[in-house]
């Protein structure tokens, strides 16, 4: 059949028309929705992102899986980790928002400011050494009568305090009377005899009385050469004393010294002419004020304290020597407005190391990495930072130990694992538990004797000086130390030894008697029995 015959066939002609219509329709609709290169790339990225979604546990953020399922630790459903595509430091630990809320993790910015601190100092009232004098015997003899014979008695200058029998004085009086009988021939002889009596502290009135009476007195009246309070009586009636012997120690208590014990770590906060307010246990409700007049230039090698002196006018003689006092001192370190300050709760201690957790900027969920820092002075509730941080950085200030625990579980750099080595990413549950057990700090409690806040600071400082101690807290009420330590580095025995060395008995070790005796008055606790 010819071609023209095919075209004349109505069935063939209809089929060709239908095919042509379908072809035109496909061409029309295909061109109205062109596929761009950008859409193709986005589709590929979306598919790639779906394949790289990481699933984690809200309670155990160290768990990372590439597909949904159950947490191998607690059995909770895994959730997709938001922003899991973001590049985060491999040694940082990430925590979901829910995990941070459960652990009460809080952060704050590192800021600059003025370091201020309130110091509490303990001490006692002492005699002003400039007003302390000795009453001596000016001639050898026997105490016939002692008129000032009690400690604490007040005497005044010129007051008769004793009568002394002195053979030398009897001879000197005879010489004077003989010289007077020869004064016409030897006028200078009488004056020499008078001068001899004056050197023995006889007054001109006493000498004149001898000349007028013409009689030799067998006793000599000893008068006080100063006014004050008798602190120490060193003679009794009938004692024989030599010329220059001390009879009484006398102090003028119109002005006294308030002497405080200051640890060497606190000396940077104390300066001359600084105001100090203090109270005395014996005078409740009364506050005394003065200024620092002296700071001891030498540190006691045993107690590690220096004496700080405040001079006080003692109106009404209210303050008495050896009275225990408590001082309050508010201090600022000059020229430190540019010093970085962080809360004390942000710092973790591992022996001599101080570390904080810094939030990585832009991380979602939040990621934190441990950083070693160098601390300066401790203020009321914060530390100065000398090295390791910059203004504006965000650090963990509450729940720091929880963040560190998460880092330990994840095998990241942490307080107990300072190395930068990253363990293998594939660990079974048993391996993770073993690593966790090795990294977890141990706890211990033991008895330590002490009295006051100074004892608390001394005990805790000694404990923290041992390498491997994470934290140490002493309770004066329970006389117990709560210890958190790294068992791979130390043990409670070593900590107890360190505490005993600074003067405090523990349940296993007794402090050296000499060290204990050098503790401040308020720190002399009741010794433990061994």
Taken as a whole, the chain contains a residue count of 530
Place of tokens 């990621």: 367
Reported confidence tier of residue 328, pLDDT bands at 50, 70, 90: very high
Strands (DSSP E) found in 128-239: 132-136, 141-146, 154-155, 160-165, 219-223, 228-233
Classify residue 228 as exposed, middle or buried by CB count within 10 Å of its CB (0-12, 13-18, 19+).
buried
Q: Are 505 and 528 in contact (CB under 8 A)?
A: yes
For residue 6, list its beta bridge partners: none
pLDDT tens track for 246-267? 999 999 999 999 999 998 888 8
- Whether residues 246 and 359 share a domain: the answer is no
Q: What is the mean pLDDT of residues 509-517?
A: 89
- Whether residues 138 and 247 share a domain: the answer is yes
486: domain CATH number is 3.30.70.100
- Whether residues 417 and 515 share a domain: the answer is no
- Whether residues 136 and 246 share a domain: the answer is yes
The C-alpha atoms of residue 441 and residue 374 are separated, in whole angstroms, by: 23
The pLDDT, as a whole number, for residue 395 is 92
- Whether residues 134 and 247 share a domain: the answer is yes
Last residue of a domain, one of 439, 474, 508: 439
The answer to whether residue 95 sits within a structural domain is no
Reported confidence tier of residue 331, pLDDT bands at 50, 70, 90: confident
For residue 291, list its beta bridge partners: 275
- Whether residues 124 and 271 share a domain: the answer is yes
The answer to whether residue 426 sits within a structural domain is yes
The C-alpha atoms of residue 289 and residue 280 are separated, in whole angstroms, by: 12
**365 upstream amide cis, omega within 30 of 0:** yes
Token reading at 190: 């009488």
Last residue of a domain, one of 402, 422, 439: 439
pTM for this model (two decimals): 0.56
The C-alpha atoms of residue 286 and residue 482 are separated, in whole angstroms, by: 37
235: domain CATH number is 2.40.50.100
- Whether residues 145 and 245 share a domain: the answer is yes
Reported confidence tier of residue 204, pLDDT bands at 50, 70, 90: confident
The C-alpha atoms of residue 257 and residue 128 are separated, in whole angstroms, by: 5
Strands 219-223 vs 79-80: parallel, antiparallel or unpaired: unpaired
DSSP states of 135-191: EE-SS-EEEEEES--STT-EE-TT-EEEEEE-HHHHHHHHHHHHHHHTTTT-HHHHH
Taking phi over 0 as left and psi of -120 to 50 as alpha, with beta for the rest, 8 belongs to: alpha
Token reading at 12: 């063939």
The pLDDT, as a whole number, for residue 525 is 85
Q: Are 147 and 135 in contact (CB under 8 A)?
A: no
Reported confidence tier of residue 272, pLDDT bands at 50, 70, 90: very high
The answer to whether residue 92 sits within a structural domain is no
- Whether residues 122 and 265 share a domain: the answer is yes
- Whether residues 433 and 453 share a domain: the answer is no
In the predicted model, what is the mean pLDDT of the chain?
A: 80
Domains identified in the chain, total number = 6
Last residue of a domain, one of 251, 281, 315: 251
pLDDT at 184 over 80: no
- The CA radius of gyration of the chain, in Å to the nearest whole number, is 45
300: domain CATH number is 2.40.30.170
Identify the domain containing residue 213 by its residue range. 129-251
The answer to whether residue 314 sits within a structural domain is yes
pLDDT above 70 covers what percent of the chain? 81
pLDDT at 352 over 80: no
The answer to whether residue 94 sits within a structural domain is no
- Whether residues 274 and 314 share a domain: the answer is yes
The answer to whether residue 470 sits within a structural domain is yes
Token reading at 20: 């042509």
Reported confidence tier of residue 84, pLDDT bands at 50, 70, 90: very low
pLDDT at 235 over 60: yes
The answer to whether residue 93 sits within a structural domain is no
SS3 label, residue 475: strand
Token reading at 383: 């530390």
- Helices 204-213 and 167-181: crossing angle in degrees, nearest 10, is 60
- Whether residues 345 and 360 share a domain: the answer is yes
Q: Which helix (H) or strand (E) holds 369?
A: strand 367-378
The answer to whether residue 411 sits within a structural domain is yes
Distance of CA 343 to the CA centre of its chain: 14
């Amino acid at each position: 059949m010819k071609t023209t015959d095919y075209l004349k066939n109505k069935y063939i002609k209809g089929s060709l028309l239908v095919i042509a219509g379908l072809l035109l329709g496909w061409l029309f609709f295909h061109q109205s929705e062109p596929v761009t290169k950008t859409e193709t790339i986005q589709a590929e990225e979306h598919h790639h992102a779906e394949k790289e979604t990481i699933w984690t546990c809200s309670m155990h953020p160290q768990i990372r899986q590439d597909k949904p399922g159950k947490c191998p630790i607690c059995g909770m459903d895994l959730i997709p980790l938001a922003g899991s595509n973001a590049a985060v430091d491999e040694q940082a630990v990430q925590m979901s928002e829910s995990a941070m809320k459960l652990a009460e993790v809080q952060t704050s910015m590192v800021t600059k400011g003025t370091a201020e601190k309130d110091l509490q100092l303990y001490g006692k009232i002492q005699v002003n050494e400039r007003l302390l004098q000795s009453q001596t015997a000016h001639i050898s003899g026997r105490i016939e009568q002692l008129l000032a014979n009690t400690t604490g008695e007040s005497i005044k200058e010129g007051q008769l305090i004793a009568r002394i029998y002195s053979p030398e004085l009897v001879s000197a009086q005879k010489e004077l009377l003989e010289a007077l009988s020869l004064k016409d021939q030897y006028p200078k002889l009488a004056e020499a005899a008078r001068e001899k009596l004056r050197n023995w502290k006889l007054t001109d009135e006493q000498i004149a009385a001898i000349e007028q009476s013409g009689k030799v007195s067998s006793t000599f009246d000893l008068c006080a050469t100063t006014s004050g309070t008798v602190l120490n009586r060193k003679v009794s009636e009938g004692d024989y004393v030599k010329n220059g012997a001390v009879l009484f120690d006398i102090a003028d208590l119109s002005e006294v010294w308030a002497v405080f014990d200051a640890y060497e770590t606190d000396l940077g906060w104390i300066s001359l002419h600084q105001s100090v307010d203090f109270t005395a246990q014996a005078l409740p409700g009364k506050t005394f004020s003065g200024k620092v007049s002296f700071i001891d230039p030498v540190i006691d090698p045993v107690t590690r304290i220096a004496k700080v002196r405040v001079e006080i006018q003692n109106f009404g003689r209210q303050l008495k020597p050896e009275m225990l006092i408590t001082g309050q001192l508010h201090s600022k370190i000059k020229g430190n407005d540019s010093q970085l300050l962080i809360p004390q709760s942000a710092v973790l201690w591992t022996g001599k190391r101080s570390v904080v957790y810094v939030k990585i900027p832009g991380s979602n969920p939040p990621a934190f990495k441990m950083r070693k820092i160098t601390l300066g002075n401790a203020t009321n509730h914060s530390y100065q930072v000398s090295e390791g941080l910059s203004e504006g950085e965000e650090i963990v200030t509450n729940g720091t130990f929880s963040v560190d625990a998460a880092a330990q579980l994840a095998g990241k750099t942490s307080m107990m694992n300072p190395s930068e080595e990253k363990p293998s990413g594939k660990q079974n549950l048993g391996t993770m538990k073993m690593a966790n057990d090795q990294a977890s700090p141990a706890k211990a409690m033991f008895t330590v004797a002490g009295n006051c806040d100074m004892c608390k600071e001394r005990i805790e400082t000694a404990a923290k000086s041992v390498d491997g101690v994470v934290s140490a807290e002493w309770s004066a009420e329970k006389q117990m130390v709560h210890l958190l330590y790294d068992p791979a580095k130390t043990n409670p025995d070593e900590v107890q030894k360190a505490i005993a060395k600074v003067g405090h008995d523990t349940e296993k070790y007794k402090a050296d008697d000499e060290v204990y005796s050098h503790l401040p008055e308020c720190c002399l606790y009741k010794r433990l029995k061994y």
